[in-house]
Amino acid sequence: MSDLVLYGTIYDPDVVYPRRPLFDVSASSTSTYSAPEVANTAEASLEDFTIPGTITREAALAFSSLAMTCDPIKAAWDDLHEFNECDPSRVAVPTLIISGAKDPYVNWSAQLALLRGLGTEDKAMYCVPNSDHAAHVLEERDAFVGAVAGFLSRRDGIRALLREVGGG
C-alpha span between 143 and 5 (Å, rounded): 15
Q: What is the pTM of this model?
A: 0.76
Mean pLDDT for the chain overall: 84
The pLDDT of residue 86 is above 50: yes
Q: Is 116 part of any domain? A: yes
Q: Is 55 part of any domain? A: no
C-alpha span between 60 and 138 (Å, rounded): 9
Question: Between residues 126 and 168, which one has the greater pLDDT?
Answer: 126
Q: Is 103 part of any domain? A: yes
Helix (H, G, I), strand (E, B) or coil at 86: coil
Residue 149, phi then psi, degrees to nearest 5: -60, -40
Q: Is 38 part of any domain? A: no
Q: How many domains does the chain have?
A: 1
Instruction: For residues 50-72, give the mean pLDDT.
Output: 85
Q: Is 117 part of any domain? A: yes
C-alpha span between 12 and 15 (Å, rounded): 6
- Residues 70, 99 contacting (CB under 8 angstroms): no
Q: Is 70 part of any domain? A: no
User: What's the domain range around 144?
Assistant: 4-11+87-164
Q: Is 31 part of any domain? A: no
Q: Is 121 part of any domain? A: yes
DSSP state of 74: P
DSSP state of 83: G
